[in-house]
Structure 1
């Protein structure tokens, strides 16, 4: 799935059930998705996100500042 954020197209996927566990990667999330034990997906909802300019996402990695990474809607 894709989401547009601040001039970037980010790729993300969701697997599992339960409380959300965010998995961010600057090398792409596919290795993490393949290696995650299936038993953990029974207890946690993993949200894998390829950061801008990495993995399958597009955008300039130089634009990824701490403020952008921690941005929340309504703040």
Structure 2
């Protein structure tokens, strides 16, 4: 994510995280759904811990996402 996501835009799945005021911009999430909204897209992003347990979800516009590449793409 390029920006932190405030608590009011999050759906927290685990009660352990209810005191979290926002998700910092360094969090890595997984896009699980894509919504078309006019000429723009929004993405349902799931955030999980290192054990794969989901703790939060957020719907984010594309300009708030940073796509990570794990392998070098050759043009």
TM-score by length of 1: 0.27
Higher strand share: 2
Higher helix share: 1
TM-score by length of 2: 0.27
Q: Which has the higher contact order (CA 8 A, sep 6+)?
A: 1
